[in-house]
Amino acid sequence: MNQWGYVIACWVIVIGVLGVYAAIIIGRGRALSRQVPPEDRRWM
């Protein structure tokens, strides 16, 4: 594995992990917000 291999691996892992985490939060956010009556969802 030359240097570029490690660099790409790092970047892919970082962006991948952040992307998956963001998607999980958005997904759960949508699921939960259906159970809460609309007036509580007025975000600032």
Provide, rounded to whole angstroms, the least separation between the CB of residue 18 and another protein: 6
Provide, rounded to whole angstroms, the least separation between the CB of residue 36 and another protein: 5
Query: Could you tell me how far CA 24 lies from the centroid of its own chain?
Result: 5
The rounded distance, in Å, linking the Cα atoms of 8 and 24 is 24
Tokens 């759960």 sit at which residue?
28
Q: Which two tokens stand for residue 25?
A: 């939060």
Contact set for another protein, span 9-28 (CB under 8 A): 9-11, 13-15, 17-19, 21-23, 25-26, 28
- Residues found near another protein in the complex (CB under 8 A): 1, 3-4, 6-7, 9-11, 13-15, 17-19, 21-23, 25-26, 28-30, 32-36, 38, 40-44
